Amino acid sequence: MSNLIPSFDFHRVVISPWTTELDSFGWVVLMGFLVATACGLVGNYLILRRMALVGDAISHSVLPGLAVGFLVANSRGSTPMFVGALVAGVFTTILIEIIHKKSRVKQDAAIGISFTSLFAIGVILISLYASKVDLDQECVLYGEIGNIWIDTPFQVGSIILGPTAVVRMACVTLLTLGLILLFYKELLVSSFDPGLAYSLGINATAVHYALMCLLSVVVVSAFESVGAILVIAMLILPGATASLLSQRLPIVLCLSAVHAALSSVLGIHLALWLNCSIAGAMVVTGAALFGLAWIFSPSQGLIRHWTRSRLEGPVPAAGETDEV
C-alpha cells in the first residue's frame, strides 16, 4: 500500500516540469487544455439539450469508424480517420433515432444498444487486426497524451509550429470556437426554445445534425489524447461545473474554458505525482473541481442547500420535475 502512493517530491512534481522539462511538458499541458476546451464548449450545448448521454454514445461509437479508417488507409493518416469517425458518429445518431422511432424501445435503451454494439465491433476489429492497426486497447481506454510531444513536428515553410497532433487539435478548438461564435444565436434559440427557433426560420434538424458532426470531430480529435471513455468527462464536467456557478450562457462558456485550463494543468501535476495515466488524472482533477463547485456554489451548492433547508424547512428538490 505504501508504495502505491509515491512521496510528494516538490521539485519533481511542481518545479521541473516548468523549467527543465518544459519542452515535453508544455506540449502536454497545451494539448490537455485544447482538448478540454473544445470538448467543454460543445459539451455545454449537450447539457442544455439534455443530450449528455448521446455524447457518451458518440464518443464510444467513433471507435469502429477509426478502426475501419485505419484498415482502409493502412496508416495512421488523419483524413481517413476523421472521415471514418465522422461517419460513425453521425451513423450512431441516426441509428438511435431509427431504433427509437421505429419500435417501442425508449430512447435511453436505444442509446445503450447502439453505442455498445458499435463499440463492440470496434474492439473486435482492433483485437483482430492488432498487428495492422496502430491502436491498442490501452490507447482506447487512456489515450496517449503523455507521448504527444514525440509526434512528428508540423512545419509551415521552415517554421516549426509544434507536434502535428497539437496543431491539429488547435485547429479543431479554433473551429469549434468559431462555429459557436458564428452560430451563437441559432444554437441558443434551438437549445432553449425549439418552437421559437421554428418560428424564426431556424432549421432545428440541421442545427442538431451540425452539432452532432461537430461533436464527432471534437471527439475523434480528442480520442488520441484521452481515449474513448474519458472523453465523456471532458464533454460534461466543464459545462456542469460552470452551470453550477452561473445562469448566463456566455459566462458559462467562459467558465468552462477556465475549468478546462485548471483541470489540465492540475491534472498533469497530479499524474506526475502519482505516476498514473495523465488523462485519468485530468478527469479526476476536473471531477474534484466539480465537487468544489457543488459544495460551495452560491445558488445551488450543498452548503447553501443545507443551510436553506434548515432555515426554511424542506426545500423542493431541484430535479423534481424529471424523476426516473
Partner 1 sequence: MHRVYASRLTLHALRLIALVIFGLTLPAHAAKIGDLAETNIIEQAIRFFTFQDPAVRYALAGSMLLGITCGLLGSFIVVRKMALVGDALSHAVLPGVAIGFLWNMTKDPIAIFIGATLAGLSGAALVTLIKQTTKLKEDSALGLVLASFFAVGICLLTMIQRLPTGNKSGIEKFLFGQAAAISAADVRLMAVITALVIVAIFVFYKEFLITSFDSTFAQVVRFPAQLIHYALMLLLAFAVVIALQAVGVVLVSAMLITPAAAAYLLTDRMSRMLWLSALFGLLAGAIGSFFSFLGPNLPTGPFMVLGATTVFLLAFLFGPRHGVVMRWWRQRSRARRTGRENTLKAIYHVLEARDFKGEGVSLRELSERRRETIEEAKTQVAELRRHNLVTLHEEGNLAFLTPAGWQLACAIVRNHRLWELYLTNAAHIAADHVHEDAEKIEHVLGEEVVRQLEKRLEYATTDPHGRPIPSLADMRQGGAQTGPPEELLGYGKRV
Give me the least distance between CB of 20 and partner 1, in Å please.
23
Q: Which is nearer to partner 1, 34 or 51 (CB)?
A: 51
Give me the least distance between CB of 213 and partner 1, in Å please.
20
Q: Which is nearer to partner 1, 66 or 170 (CB)?
A: 66
Phi and psi, residue 170, nearest 5°: -60, -40
Q: Which is nearer to partner 1, 236 or 262 (CB)?
A: 236
Q: Are 88 and 217 in contact (CB under 8 A)?
A: no
Q: Which is nearer to partner 1, 181 or 317 (CB)?
A: 317
Give me the least distance between CB of 302 and partner 1, in Å please.
6
Give me the least distance between CB of 232 and partner 1, in Å please.
5
Q: Which is nearer to partner 1, 261 or 274 (CB)?
A: 274
Distance CA 259, CA 312 (A): 33
Give me the least distance between CB of 128 and partner 1, in Å please.
6
C-alpha cell at 203: 432549421
Q: Which is nearer to partner 1, 185 or 308 (CB)?
A: 308
Count Cβ atoms within 10 A of the Cβ of residue 205 and give its class: 0-12 exposed, 13-18 middle, 19 or more buried.
Answer: exposed
Q: Left if phi > 0, otherwise alpha if psi is -120 to 50, otherwise beta: which for 78?
A: alpha
Q: How does DSSP assign 116-139, residue by residue?
A: HHHHHHHHHHHHHTTTTSS--HHH
Distance CA 149, CA 147 (A): 6
Q: Are 70 and 134 in contact (CB under 8 A)?
A: yes
Q: Which is nearer to partner 1, 162 or 256 (CB)?
A: 256
SS3 19: coil
Q: Are 281 and 231 in contact (CB under 8 A)?
A: no
Distance CA 195, CA 193 (A): 5
Give me the least distance between CB of 125 and partner 1, in Å please.
7
Phi and psi, residue 310, nearest 5°: -75, -35
Give me the least distance between CB of 174 and partner 1, in Å please.
25
